[in-house]
Amino acid sequence: MIQIDIPGNKKITIEHLVMDYNGTLAVDGVLIEGVKPLIIELSSKLNLHVITADTFGLASIQLTTLPVKLVILPSDNQQEEKLKYIEQLGKDTCAAIGNGVNDALMLKHAAIGIALLQEEGLALEALMASDIIMKNAMDALNLFLHPKRMVATLRK
């Protein structure tokens, strides 16, 4: 669990980090170098979830040794399914990371939504739904290891 007190904004307790896979943790289905050790380190602080359409069919292989709960979605209604997933966990205790249109509702309704602009791009809908934009997965994951960085970004 990570507690973040954002002056002029809100106090947040994060228990779950819900992440997209392709375009977020992976490029072309392959886990981005540097992500694995950060996930391992974060697993002692948060419950980690990867929710994905698994476009390349590699998520379960790439994540097999990592302490994450993997959920592979069918191709229909992914935006709504990702939102429903964080609502079941308790959206006020979830942070979310993603880059696609299908991540937008999850990013908007999570306590903290983080969008990434990496090799696979960032959908405008995801950008507009986010609280924070990061340039890569490692920087986004490091926010949870150094939560005062979020305070500096989100304070009013």
Number of folded domains that form the chain: 1
Domain for residue 41, yes or no? yes
Give percent above pLDDT 70 in the chain.
100
> Distance between CA atoms of 143 and 156, rounded to whole angstroms?
18
Domain for residue 35, yes or no? yes
Residue 14 is part of which domain span? Answer: 2-151
Q: Provide CB contacts within 8 A for 117, sequence distance 6+.
A: 99, 133, 134, 135
What is the reported pLDDT for 10? 79
Nearest-CA neighbor of 93 among 9, 18, 7?
18
What is the reported pLDDT for 13? 94
What is the reported pLDDT for 55? 87
Residue 141: CATH number of its domain: 3.40.50.1000
pLDDT at residue 75 above 80? no
Domain for residue 156, yes or no? no
> Distance between CA atoms of 15 and 34, rounded to whole angstroms?
23
What is the reported pLDDT for 144? 96
User: What is the identity of the amino acid at 146?
Assistant: H
